[in-house]
Amino acid sequence: MPRRLNTIIVVPHSQARFFKFSFSTRALILTAGACALAVLLSVLAISFTGGAITRRSEVTRLRSQNKELTAVNEQLAGTISEVQSRLDEFEEQTAKLALAAGMETPPEVLADRVVPADRFGKGGQYDRLPETPEVLRVQGDWIAAQLSEVEKALAHREEVWSATPSIAPAMGLMTDGFGGRPDPVTGRHALHKGLDISARRGTPVISPADGVVVFTGTSGNLGKTVRIAHGLGYTTVYGHLDRIDVEPGEEVRRGTKIGALGNSGRSTGPHLHYEVHVDGEPVNPLYYILDAF
């Protein structure tokens, strides 16, 4: 059986000649398959090339990000080192403040290490964990806690200083001290609970510490009297005044004028009778006068 052929005739408009192409059905099928395969391979090649370009672009982007992250990490490491250095300085300053405030220094725990007691305040080096944000946070919390304790200690010292009588209530001559003595009027032996300071009538009398006036008026043999409560168990008494310049409930500061020296009550001459009581018991006022006698 003769082979069947397929013929394509091409007739150009501008020419009288024509072209004729004859081919078998098998050749047509093979040619079409080859063209389809070529198209498929072209599509795959384009896809692969596009993927490669995309992957190359992604790699380039990741490299750029890696460089940026490296720079950020280096900057973070520098910042952590700087913060660590500042925290060490704060720690040493806190230790000095603690010693100045009279605080005790027991061992303190930071993360999983112990800060020895002899480290506190000496500024020496000690083994610490690798510098990490968590360690810095723990150290910062520790310093904050220590500063809080220092603040409390200093506030207490300020309270003690404010409440403790420390200056002479009047300038003059001390004519009689604290303790047993013959009574100047009766001649009998008696306990003199304070100091007698002789001076000219009208000499200013001042408070030796901060406090609140709790009594003003006449008090038996002491005549015109002022009593001040200073807190922390301290109370002072001022007798034989010529004039009282404060009222009950009035707050006074160290150095506030509370009256004038006089000769009221049972007195043999112008003078101030000054008493200091601690927790209700009279003590020698000389122990609480730092600027005279």
Q: What is the pLDDT of residues 241-286, one digit of tens each?
A: 999 999 999 999 999 999 999 999 998 899 999 999 999 999 999 9
Q: What is the pLDDT of residue 273?
A: 96
* pLDDT score at 19: 63
Residue 184: pLDDT band by 50, 70, 90 thresholds? low
Q: Is 157 helix (H, G, I), strand (E, B) or coil?
A: helix
Residue-range domain boundaries for the chain = 5-69, 81-163, 173-288
Nearest-5° Cα angle at 201, 200 to 205 = 95
What is residue 172's predicted lDDT score, i.e. its pLDDT? 93
Q: What phi and psi values does residue 147 have, to the nearest 5 degrees?
A: -65, -35
C-beta of residue 241 within 8 angstroms of C-beta of residue 264: yes
Helix (H, G, I), strand (E, B), or coil: what is residue 57?
helix
* Averaged pLDDT for residues 233-239: 97
pLDDT higher than threshold 80 for residue 127 = no
* SS3 label, residue 48: helix
pTM above threshold 0.75? no
Which residues lie closer than 8 Å to 155 by C-beta, 6 or more apart? none
The three state secondary structure string of 158-183 is HHHHHHCCCCCCCCCEEEECCEEEEC
Q: Is the pLDDT of residue 109 over 60?
A: no
Q: Which range in 43-47, 156-160, 249-253 is most confidently predicted, on average pLDDT? A: 249-253
> Does pLDDT of 21 surpass 50?
yes
Of 252 and 108, the one with more pLDDT:
252
Looking at the chain, the whole-number percentage of residues with pLDDT higher than 70 is: 74
More confident residue, 110 or 39: 39
Does 72 score more than 80 pLDDT?
no
Which pLDDT score is estimated for 47?
A: 72
Q: What is the pLDDT of residue 121?
A: 42
Q: Which residue has the higher pLDDT, 12 or 171?
A: 171
Residue 227's pLDDT band (cuts 50, 70, 90) = very high
85, 173, 179, 183, 197 from 176: Cα distances, Å:
61, 9, 9, 11, 7
Which CATH class for the 173-288 domain? mainly beta
- Mean pLDDT across the stretch 63-82? 75
